Chain A
Amino acid sequence: MTMNHRRSLANRYNALKSTGPRSAAGKRASSQNSRKHGLNSAPDFESSLEYRALVELIAEEGFSGFACADIASSLLNYRRVMDAYYDTYTSPEPVDEFLLDANVKASNPIFSELLSPSGSEPQDVREMAAFFASMQRQERRKGGPVSRRTTDSHKLIRYHRNGIARLSRAVRQG
């Protein structure tokens, strides 16, 4: 176990004692921690330049004003979904290889050594080992990078389905 791994382990263990952010800025920052793709937020396409240009170009193909607006916004929405899909696919949660491969039992002496400055008790070492083992279980359940990106991309299926259905409906009804 390298020094970095020890530090990271100690940081994670100490973070368990944290009671969360206190300042307004900290709370604002941590409120975005679980933000994944932003597809649940309502987009404002109507005020963008792209939207206006698309509406003008589609109007030249003989669509009504309402249909042009609908097709332009659904096209932009579909591209937004596909961009999020690509981003999710290309940047899955990184694999913690140290955690994935580490042997928990063999790490017990290191845990006691890490906790020694604070006067480690056998109970503390057991707690830390249990915490480490639970993190490892979580990490192993997520699998390797391909499994992770598959799981993450799979979560976007409903956005993809809704996006293309909206686009198709707009074009066919236009």
Chain B
Amino acid sequence: MSYNVHFGINVDVPMTVENKSKSLLPFLSSPKLLPNESEAEFQSGLQSLLSELDNPSPLAVALVSQLNESLWWIKRHTVDKELLLHEAMARLLSKAGSYTETYDNRKVSEALERYLDGSADTDEAEWIDDILAESKLTLSDLRVRAFKDAAKHIKMVDDLIHRQHQTMRHLQRSIDAIDYKSRLIKRMDLELAALESRQSLKGVLSLDDEPSQEPCKSLQCT
């Protein structure tokens, strides 16, 4: 069954008709994607998380949506670590030529990206090789130095990833609490029903007993 639990996000989970119209998500701002990110991937992640819910109540669905967003942020920040390293490498290369000429940082960055991908043309590859030779560095030296330079920012990204992990832990605990609460309510309902049925059974029995007591009374009377 596919239905809309969010703005533009279709989710496949077994929920009752009542719950569909009572989702909390339309009242919360939706997680936004970057222009180069796949919405289909985001949705499939959300769907797989929702399918694992034992009791998909509106609040649980809202919390799972936040959980999916945290996972998405972890992916983004992991990519950022590589980008930081690349940025630092490009900056080092730009600085390397500053004694003779000033290199355009963006131009160096783009050329380096293609050079590392192996998609650079011969001119570009030669240019990067020349800058490396000028600065007396190999590619692995450059990577090591870039890592040293970007260490502060990489540590920050690690903190951000750690924060998202902690967020996920909090959300997981909250979902468990809701699940436990709903199970507790169900159990109490069942116990109440059992008590009621026992009570009514007693009532029936006492009604059944009444005629049997009557002869006694009659005996006493006699």
**A interface with B by C-beta (< 8 Å):** 50, 53-54, 57-58, 60-62, 71, 75-76, 78-80, 82-83, 86, 89-90, 97, 100-103, 106, 143-147, 149-151, 153-154, 157, 160-161, 164-165, 167-168, 171-172, 174
Contact = CB atoms under 8 A, between A and B. Distances in A.
A83 B28 CA distance: 11
A28 B178 CA distance: 47
B78 interface: no
Task: Using C-beta atoms within 8 Å of the partner chain, give the interface range for chain B.
Answer: 35 or more
A75 B28 contact: yes
Contacts, number: 114
Interface in B174-197: 174, 177-178, 181-182, 185
Nearest to A149: B80
B80 A167 contact: no
Interface string B52-82: 0000011100110010010000001000100
A61 B170 contact: no
B9 interface: no
B91 interface: yes
Nearest to B69: A82
A171 B174 contact: yes
Q: Is the interface of B mostly helix, strand, loop or mixed?
A: helix
A54 B160 CA distance: 29
Contacts of A161: 163, 166
Interface of B: 22, 24, 27-29, 31-32, 34, 57-59, 62-63, 66, 69, 76, 80, 83-84, 87, 90-91, 94, 98, 102-106, 109, 150, 153, 156-157, 159-160, 163, 166-167, 170-171, 173-174, 177-178, 181-182, 185
B24 A57 contact: yes
Contact of B91 (A75, A78, A86, A144): A144
B39 to A, nearest CB: 15
Contacts of A97: 104-106
